[in-house]
Structure 1
């Protein structure tokens, strides 16, 4: 069954230039920032150059999840409006030479629009010679998501196995399609329930309800929640399920034929 899921969920990715992937969901609290930051680190560990962009204007949190809040001085607004250069706006992660970060502004600048955001992302792509740019968007459908959709090649829609989150993922997928983002993939976060075999029925149901192909699964694990609060990423986690899950998604993002649950044998139950 897992081979069937893999064939159903995958398509080849093209890597002629920097791949720009936005992370989103209409529903807040599903773990978009956590998935975004940890997948970026997993790819960085594989030697890919990744830039994390926080697009949650006015309510930034990706710097906290990534453990970089103490290093933020400038943000993407400073770069977009010519106040600083990329060298000053972009933070080099101390844990990996392949991972970089640029913060969102504390407040929304009305001068920011689709054109200025798109131009800034393209400038960063050319300046940094990145393999990937990950754009973390806020929950809901608003201007930041529209900005990100204007420049993204792919959208990773983060969903948890709840009815509200699945409905939000369906709505998000439709919104992105109407704005030209044709390559959309699901990341099922916080998957729980015991055996992997039982979880596959849940996965198939989520795919069928959202009509979006699946790129990967992140098991529920309290350590991942704690790590996000402490600014710890997958490179420093002890949970084998979590580390293997993000490595699996990284492999599948790169087009490798990795199974969804490779090296994951049992899912934790909610207490």
Structure 2
């Protein structure tokens, strides 16, 4: 780890569709004195914000340029196709999951901020690419084609007149935690522990937070019980016996006189 001074707050960038609220809640409970500053950035600008050091870490979509960056994959999303509710593929109740072959005759929109990496798009290609995924969803609602996105983006841009179905054999989006290699501060290590589910005591980040949590769980020292009246400390006698485990000597009983044979009368 570097000796770079830690900022007053921890700045976390995240891309659309990613929800850091669960991790933010754990952070606030663990480090209440270090605010977590969240910044939503366009998917294409997340890496740039890290390299410009406007964020200490970021929840990004892979792939990213690993030159000078660390990235820990967190989870992989289900890929879905967004289409109108009255679309023929949406009306087929048996088609819970669609395949790329089902889109062969469909106009498939390809937004410029597409979160998926394609070798070749399925279906029919549109003449123009929408600027954003939001724009593509608006076109689908207008009856112009369909769009393939990670499930979190389908939920983010949800509309009542649209639905989505899981799409098999399609590329998937992987979300990762990324940060600059030379900016691996204690706070970065602490956030790594949060997203990986480490407990306070096992976290390698903020040792002060771990120490405070350990101290809070430590039971208070037990006070010695007050001495009762008549008791004496140490091994002194009490009621004919010594305290501390030793038994007092038994008092010798007075020997009974021996009864001899009666003397003979002369």
TM range (shorter): under 0.3
TM-score, length of structure 1 as denominator length: 0.23
- The structure having more radius of gyration, on CA atoms, is 2
TM-score, length of structure 2 as denominator length: 0.23
- Return the structure number with greater helix share: 1
Higher relative contact order (CA 8 A, sep 6+): 1
